Structure 1
Amino acid sequence: MTVRKLQEKRGWAWNIAVPIIKPLLLATTKREWIGGENIPVEGGFIIALNHISHVDPLTAAHLVYDHGHKPSYLAKSGLFDNKALGYFLRGAGQIPVKRETKDAVGAYSAAVDAIRAGRVVVIYPEATITRDPELWPMKGKSGAARIALETGCPVIPVGQWGAQELLAPYTKKPHLVPRNQITMRVGTPVPLDDLRAQPRTTALVNEATERIMTAITHQLELVRGEKAPAERYDMAVHGDRFKKKKAS
């Protein structure tokens, strides 16, 4: 398992978070990082992965940190409403985003600036925890693709599994004992070079998004030893099964 030293100073927020969160993760999870050599040593890039639990941003941060980088996330703007938490999140380099509003453009610009400054931005292209009944990746949204096309940065696909056992989707009670196996498989950069010189049409962005989701899904198939469904779950078509479950 590849482990690297942090490439930059941690900063005050990470100096607080790491001594608290990393021992907790080590006490409650067993980690398996596969393909870590595919994570660039330096330069700005995107880590794109599937979303299966509210806790997996922490396990993904563990992966990125173990490979020498401090991850930045596009985080829900509501988390920044609390002054203390917002101050901490900004100190840790996190990027607030108001979904489905004009302010989301500002988050896009902030992510582009972060990439160009050499930072690592972690993005869940699904934008929310998957609603697929078997937790396969859903249809992706375009944010990661648009940022990658704008900056020319690598997009590193990651298929991850196990966090749903630590904290099942949309539940509040974690399962801490026995320690849960967290597996993250890192693929080679998604091939996007042929798209970057072309006009930025909707069809082009959709093609880039599909390539990213295909790469993530392939890594997850290798982790699970199974084949994903031929058709991705699409909430616009299939609805939100969690909301349906609550309504019933």
Structure 2
Amino acid sequence: MRGRLSRRRDAAADASGAARSREPLRTPTPPGEGPTYRHLGQLVGFVMRLGTREVWDDAAALPPQGEGVLVVANHVSYLDVLAVGRYLIWSGRWPRYLGKAELWNVWPIGWLGRRCRQIPIDRYTSRAKDGLANARAALEAGECVAIYPEGGRTRDPELWPQRGRTGVARLALATGVPVIPVGHWGTHEVMPGRRLTVPRVWPKRTIRVVMGDPVPLDDLIGRQDDAAALREATDRIMEAITRQVEDLRGERRPPAGVWDGTKGGRHSPS
């Protein structure tokens, strides 16, 4: 009996979450923003509804427009940016993604990135600090900045979040804005692997996106130049993201630790 009731509740939640993703775009265009981002969002919405089934929660932790917020998510597929971006836009915020600068050399990605005021970052170079400075300015201006803290798609063979990079923590500790963890699951079934592929749209795959409470970082704010504080903040952020993914997958994290791409295996997150 209890199992049937649980399944009914899950089915009702799925129906509600799927209905929310089918709603029209009502999020106001931010002041000073041109029409490109809105048109792109509407196009992405049409394509995602056509090719996938999206199930969202209510994004209750997301602050309203005008308040700076740092959104962090797991990264398993090329489709993640569209899936999470659409979820955030339909939830009331227009994200400014922090993405690898190489993409800005690819047409039309670079053109769209500039028109939609996305933020390029030259990873692993001395110019990376310029991208972080632009992201910090956006946060201090009350915008929503979205980042994949892993620095790229996870290399964990089981697609769990891998060890995070500390750039996201540096932004969080320098600005004090809320850090909101987002977990998603299902994009890898539409666009699997580490190379661009033709999306698998039949039968329709389900993409689920959920949001957690702000990551507790108050005790570390202002310590963005302290390596130990950066590592601690990054690990807390990744743990919060992983909890969202665990809920979606209905599994417990394997006990052997976190995948570390620099070492090619699971290790303690500390």
TM-score (norm 1): 0.90
Cα deviations across residues 111-164 of structure 1 (Å, max 9, x unaligned)? 000111111111001011111111000000011111011110000001110000
Match for residue 149 of structure 2 among 118, 122, 125: 125
Q: Does 1:193 align with 2:218?
A: yes
2:71 counterpart residue number: 47
Give the CA deviation at 1:31.
Answer: 1.2
Secondary structure at the aligned position of 1:38 is classed as coil
User: 1:178, CA displacement in angstroms?
Assistant: 1.6
Matching residue within 152, 161, 170 for 1:146: 170
Q: Secondary structure at the match of 1:164?
A: helix
Distance 2:157 2:165 in 1: 19
Equivalence for 2:179: 155
Deviation (angstroms), 1:17: 1.0
**Counterpart of 1:5?**
26
Deviation at 1:21, TM superposition (A): 1.6
Q: Identify the residue that residue 235 of structure 1 maps to in structure 2.
A: 261
Offset of residue 11 of structure 1: 2.1
| Correspondence for 1:37 | 60
Supply the distance in 2 between the matched residues of 1:31 and 1:199 (Cα, whole angstroms). Answer: 37
Q: Secondary structure at the match of 1:25?
A: helix
Question: After superposition, where does 1:41-190 map in structure 2 within 5 Å?
Answer: 41-42=64-65, 43-82=67-106, 85-171=109-195, 172-190=197-215
Match of 1:136, SS state, is coil
- Equivalent residues in 2 for 1:200-215, closer than 5 Å: 200-215=225-240
Q: How well do the aligned residues superpose, as a CA RMSD in angstroms?
A: 1.8
Aligned to 1:242: none
Partner of 1:243 in structure 2?
none
Distance 1:197 1:89, change over 3 A: closer
- State yes or no: 1:17 paired with 2:40: yes
Aligned CA distance change for structure 1 residues 138 and 158 (closer, same or farther; 3 Å): same
**Which range is displaced more, 29-38 or 1-10?**
1-10
Write the letter of the residue equivalent to 1:155.
Answer: V
In the alignment, residue 134 of structure 2 is paired with which amino acid? A
Shift of 1:88: 2.5
The answer as to whether partners of 1:156 and 1:188 remain within 8 angstroms in 2 is yes
Q: What is the TM-score when the length of structure 2 is the normalising length?
A: 0.83
Structure showing greater relative contact order (alpha-carbon pairs closer than 8 Å, 6 or more residues apart): 1
User: Which is further off, 48-57 or 171-180?
Assistant: 171-180
CA contact (8 A) 1:165 1:180 kept: yes
Q: Is the 8 A contact 1:47 1:123 kept in 2?
A: yes
Indicate the larger mover: 140-149 or 167-176.
167-176
Structure 2 residue matching 1:47: 3-state secondary structure: strand
Kindly state the Cα deviation for residue 14 of structure 1 after the two structures are TM-superposed: 1.3
> SS where residue 259 of structure 2 aligns?
coil
Is the contact made by 1:8 and 1:69 (CA closer than 8 Å) also made in structure 2? no
- Structure 2 vs 1, CA of residues 158 and 19 (structure 1 numbering), >3 Å: closer, same or farther? closer
Is the CA contact 1:12–1:91 (under 8 Å) kept in the aligned structure 2?
no
> Letter of the aligned partner of 2:263 in structure 1?
V
- Judge which range, 34-43 or 20-29, deviates more: 34-43
Distance 1:145 1:198, change over 3 A: closer
* Aligned partner letter, 2:192: A
Matched-pair contact (CA < 8 Å) for 1:35–1:187: no
